[in-house]
Structure 1
Amino acid sequence: MQLKGSTKIGNKYQNPIPTDEAGFDKMLPIMWEYMTNKAESTPLKPLGPFNTDATIYQTPPQSGLRITWMGHSGLLIEIDGKRFLTDPVWSKRCSFTQYFGPKRFFPAPLPLNELPQLDGIIISHDHYDHFDEATIRTLAPENIPFYTSLGVGQYLKKWGVRADLIHEMDWGDTVTIGGDLTITTAPTRHFSGRGITHRNETLWSAFVIKGHTHNIFFGADSGWFNGFADIGEAYGPFDLTMLEIGAYGKNWPDIHMGPLSAVNAHLALKGKQMMPIHWGTFNLALHAWHEPVDILLELAAKENLTLFAPEPGMPTEVTGESYNSEWWEKYR
């Protein structure tokens, strides 16, 4: 089964199904909810600090698959002898300025200059909480290949990444790395834009990463849609799905999933083990900061799901056995 590529109307990329992107018409009710919100959307207790022992990367994972969660959607993925970094945001704030905007609940666990050698950096889309200019500018001199969605390369070039290292991909495109690993882009139900004047002029994507032994799915940002079943049929089953569970809200159900839809996506994708991402790092919604994982644990128990929930900054092997570090419990 071959997935369809993206479509455009004029210069605007389109979602795979009609989608309410929580635009200007939702701005006033959303602002009012933020002003009257009583939930603990930012932790009362500081989280961390979390620290990664970089010497661990000198020894390959026995299982062939090891994940270090740097927070939000930032992952250091070691899969079948290759290493990839996804959506790295090392700055204190995911914003157009470091003077205000959503602030990290904890610093990135590993300094950028201590990262192991990478085979690639994956950028799902151009939103500030996934695509950080300062981080990219720091990594650009390392001459690491970038794999990203259509249109995002313009920023990478501007920030110092060599043009020959930028691989822009449409939904369904595949690149081969090192002869035995492929990266394939898949559709998501979201939107893009780093300002109010250029919405949806770049594409948003998920990524299938398939090595000689393991097959994993990096979901990035998406609302629920039946396309997850198509992806599962075309590229599954997956040893691990990494799916967003945070930043959901009643005013934007089409563009972020929340725990219930994430579980449904995991099942549709034919996932064997599920890792929750996109939570516990920034205040981007009205729910309590720990609510997404609390709900996920309840759902996982009902559905008998195998979860993978490591502590931030802790390199952890994916073995197929359920793993829950419960790191957040000490910060309630």
Structure 2
Amino acid sequence: MKMLKILFLLLLLFLGWAVFFVWPQLGSAPTEQDLRPYAEKPYFKDGRFVPPKNMSVHSEKMTGSSGMMAFLLSAFFPEKLNLPRETLHADSFGTPAPLAVYWLGHSSFILEIGGKRLLTDPVLGNAAPIPFMFGRRADAPLKRSDIPQTDIVLISHNHYDHLERSTVRALKNTDAVFIVPAGLGRTLRGWGVKPQNIRELDWGDSFQTDNLTVTAVPASHYTGRNGWDKNKTHWNGYVLQSKDKRAYFSGDTGYEETFFKQIGQEYGPFDVALIEIDAWNEGWPNLHLFPHQAVRVAQETRAKEMIPAHWGVFNLAAHPWNESVKTTARLAQEQNVKFSTPKLGEKFLPGETVSSRWWE
């Protein structure tokens, strides 16, 4: 009887922790009314957004040296890496450069363009709603309290490695405009972001401020933060255009035969393209770009310079941390695509800064 009481108490403590810590991380699914503006879109059906390709996972086809079991274990025990970095503080930033990129790890960047400062998919902690899952291999080069004055926060989609409640809440009382995909506004409002500071953009929609235009463009992916909101919100890539500079942020995407050519034709050429290169696997061939596809995307979008995103920090596939960057660098060189790899926290000026092969 005493043991049962102890177990019951432990269960109550666990449930209490889950309710107060985990539950808020899940976000809020959009209502039917929230999604009504998208009802006639060709990629929306029966209350959900439809991926361009099959997003199934086939574990029996999984490739990589570690295998599924080791991959799952790595979610709890990530390899720790001593990556070169430049620590950033709030006073590390002055007036935004005409075009500058700071890599914060994975798909998180500070991007300066058109006199504005943007954050892309800012995740400075782990990539799961539970604090001991999908931890970082390397710490972010700045703390949330050191995030500089930010004009725009770009969110590509709602997966945990791209949308982090703690970082959103750290910015909720600022004047930053949150640009998010269709259906995601409700989650941000639930986390305290002012409704007037949220802009939901569907593919082809734009937001303009002073000398900068942000346009949502297609990507091939999927969404979900829990077991019941699959594809209830959409996923975006983004094009950024100032008077004399252009940048492209792929977000998460698999390869699609028409999307990137259209983006390049309509909005390119780009001074810099931030393109994902990791988390690919034959077990989920349509979820993410393989290295050869990432180089192709750089070519099809007409990027003058390619910077890799979605790599290094989180173990989201079954290969060594630097396999993707090595392969992408080799393929880019073979195909005359300029490929640059800023260090964590480094101020990188596309077209000017020369990067090193620090990841070898």
Answer yes or no: same fold by TM over 0.5. Answer: yes
* d(CA) in 1 for partners of 2:241, 2:156: 17
Residues 279-298 of structure 1: pairs in structure 2 closer than 5 A:
279-298=311-330
Residues 220-299 of structure 1: pairs in structure 2 closer than 5 A:
220-226=251-257, 227-299=259-331
Q: 1:143 to 1:247 in 2, by over 3 A?
A: same
- Could you tell me which of 63, 71, 85 is aligned with 2:119? 85
The structural deviation recorded for 1:54 is: 4.2
The structural deviation recorded for 1:231 is: 1.0
The structural deviation recorded for 1:128 is: 0.2
Corresponding residue number in structure 1 for 2:7: none
Q: Which runs of 5+ in 2 are unaligned?
A: 1-39
Q: In the comparison of the two structures, how many residue pairs are matched? A: 315
Find out whether 1:11 has 2:11 as its counterpart. no
Corresponding residue number in structure 1 for 2:130: 97
Q: Does the CA-based 8 Å contact 1:6-1:13 persist in structure 2?
A: no
Secondary structure at the counterpart of residue 325 of structure 2: helix
* d(CA) in 2 for partners of 1:166, 1:74: 19
Corresponding residue number in structure 2 for 1:302: 334
Structure 2 counterpart of 1:10, which letter? D
The structural deviation recorded for 1:7 is: 2.2
Q: 1:220 to 1:324 in 2, by over 3 A?
A: same
Residues 178-193 of structure 1: pairs in structure 2 closer than 5 A:
178=210, 180-193=211-224
Residues 63-142 of structure 1: pairs in structure 2 closer than 5 A:
64-91=98-125, 93-99=126-132, 101-142=133-174
Q: Which runs of 5+ in 1 are unaligned?
A: none
The structural deviation recorded for 1:36 is: 5.5
Find out whether 1:153 has 2:178 as its counterpart. no
Q: Does the CA-based 8 Å contact 2:120-2:153 persist in structure 1?
A: yes
Q: 1:119 to 1:251 in 2, by over 3 A?
A: same
The structural deviation recorded for 1:48 is: 5.0
The structural deviation recorded for 1:47 is: 3.3
* d(CA) in 2 for partners of 1:184, 1:232: 13
Q: Deviations over 1:112-159 (max 9, x none)?
A: 222221111000100000000111111112231100100111110010
The structural deviation recorded for 1:105 is: 1.2
- Could you tell me which of 34, 45, 59 is aligned with 2:68? 34
* d(CA) in 1 for partners of 2:233, 2:177: 19
* d(CA) in 2 for partners of 1:241, 1:29: 31
* d(CA) in 1 for partners of 2:61, 2:269: 40
The structural deviation recorded for 1:45 is: 4.3
* d(CA) in 1 for partners of 2:121, 2:148: 16
Q: Taking every aligned residue pair, what percent have the same amino acid on both sides?
A: 34
- Could you tell me which of 51, 66, 79 is aligned with 2:87? 51
* d(CA) in 1 for partners of 2:344, 2:59: 33
Q: Does the CA-based 8 Å contact 2:61-2:282 persist in structure 1?
A: no
* d(CA) in 1 for partners of 2:284, 2:344: 27
The structural deviation recorded for 1:297 is: 1.4
Q: Does the CA-based 8 Å contact 1:5-1:171 persist in structure 2?
A: no
* d(CA) in 1 for partners of 2:239, 2:325: 24
Structure 2 counterpart of 1:138, which letter? A
Q: Deviations over 1:212-267 (max 9, x none)?
A: 11011000100001211011111111111110001110111111002110000110
Structure 2 counterpart of 1:127, which letter? H
Secondary structure at the counterpart of residue 172 of structure 2: helix
Q: Does the CA-based 8 Å contact 1:85-1:120 persist in structure 2?
A: yes
* d(CA) in 2 for partners of 1:114, 1:46: 22
* d(CA) in 2 for partners of 1:44, 1:117: 30
Q: Does the CA-based 8 Å contact 1:49-1:106 persist in structure 2?
A: no
The structural deviation recorded for 1:327 is: 2.6
Find out whether 1:314 has 2:346 as its counterpart. yes
Secondary structure at the counterpart of residue 334 of structure 2: helix
Q: Does the CA-based 8 Å contact 2:62-2:281 persist in structure 1?
A: no
Q: TM-score, normalised by structure 2?
A: 0.82
Q: Does the CA-based 8 Å contact 1:52-1:315 persist in structure 2?
A: no
The structural deviation recorded for 1:321 is: 4.9
Q: TM-score, normalised by structure 1?
A: 0.89
* d(CA) in 2 for partners of 1:249, 1:322: 32
Structure 2 counterpart of 1:199, which letter? K
Structure 2 counterpart of 1:102, which letter? F
Corresponding residue number in structure 2 for 1:199: 230
* d(CA) in 2 for partners of 1:270, 1:286: 30
* d(CA) in 1 for partners of 2:290, 2:358: 20
